[in-house]
Amino acid sequence: MAAKPLEPFELIPAHDVDFEEVYAFFSRNRDLLDQTTHRCPGDYSDYAIRRRQLKSAIEAERQSAYRYAVMVGTSMIGYVRIVRVLEKTLIAADVQLVMDKFHQRNGYGTAVGKFVALKAFEELGFRKLTVTVLVNHLGANKSLVNAGFRRVGTLEKNTFINGEWQDMNLYEMVNPKLLKKGTP
């Protein structure tokens, strides 16, 4: 059986997306977001979401971080954050990618991961990207590999979630234009 083709998606700066759509996405995916963005349960109130959208505009202006909504039509199906590592000589960024629980396991994670890497390297000028994901999130780990990220190792007891320290896999991708031919 052939895989269903993905609907076209685009990355829109989070501060340019309708507040109600952002609020609905964050409300629907609290459990996923708490596992990727917070050491404790996050604040998903109206005020907190509006503050995130304002912060998105400020960070983009300062070129310190970029927050995007993954949009299919007018529906937000994912959230991407690209945060510049403070060391200017590294020109590296940490990436966070969260797909809506209703859009997981159908190829969007891989497709969005590839698109984000291309955008980070070609538009934003990053040299290297890193991503961490819970060891037990098998689909997310597979998506990162399929998107071209290389697993570097496991960060043991790295993140505190639901009262327990969790192991995280660390992935990286170097801008392909910087790799010499024949280099692994």
Q: What is the pLDDT of residues 96-139, one digit of tens each?
A: 888 888 888 888 889 999 999 999 999 988 999 999 999 998 98
Determine contact, residues 82/118, Cβ cutoff 8 Å.
Answer: no
Q: What percent of the chain has pLDDT over 90?
A: 35
How sure is the predictor about 1, in pLDDT bands with cuts at 50, 70 and 90? very low
Q: What is the pTM of this model?
A: 0.81
Burial (Cβ within 10 Å: 0-12, 13-18, ≥19) of residue 148: middle
User: Domain ranges in the chain?
Assistant: 10-178
Percent of the chain with pLDDT strictly greater than 70: 85
How many whole angstroms separate alpha carbon 76 and alpha carbon 99?
9
Alpha carbon distance 13, 67 (integer Å): 6
Sole residue written with tokens 């497709």:
111
| Cβ–Cβ < 8 Å for 104, 113 | no
Long-range contacts (CB closer than 8 Å, 24 or more residues apart) made by 41-50? 49/19, 49/22, 49/23, 50/19
- 130-168 pLDDT per residue, tens: 999 999 989 899 999 999 999 999 999 988 777 788 899
Q: With 60 as the cut, is the pLDDT of residue 182 above it?
A: no
Give the architecture (CATH level 2) of 10-178: 3-Layer(aba) Sandwich (3.40)
Q: What span, in angstroms and rounded, lies between the C-alpha atoms of 1 and 29?
A: 30
pLDDT at 180: 60
Residue 37 has pLDDT above 60, yes or no: no
At 105 the pLDDT is: 85
pLDDT of residue 112: 93
Inter-residue contact 103 to 84 (CB < 8 Å): no
183 falls in which pLDDT band (50, 70, 90)?
A: very low
> Residue 173 — pLDDT band, cuts 50, 70, 90?
very high
- Confidence band of 85 (pLDDT split at 50, 70, 90): confident
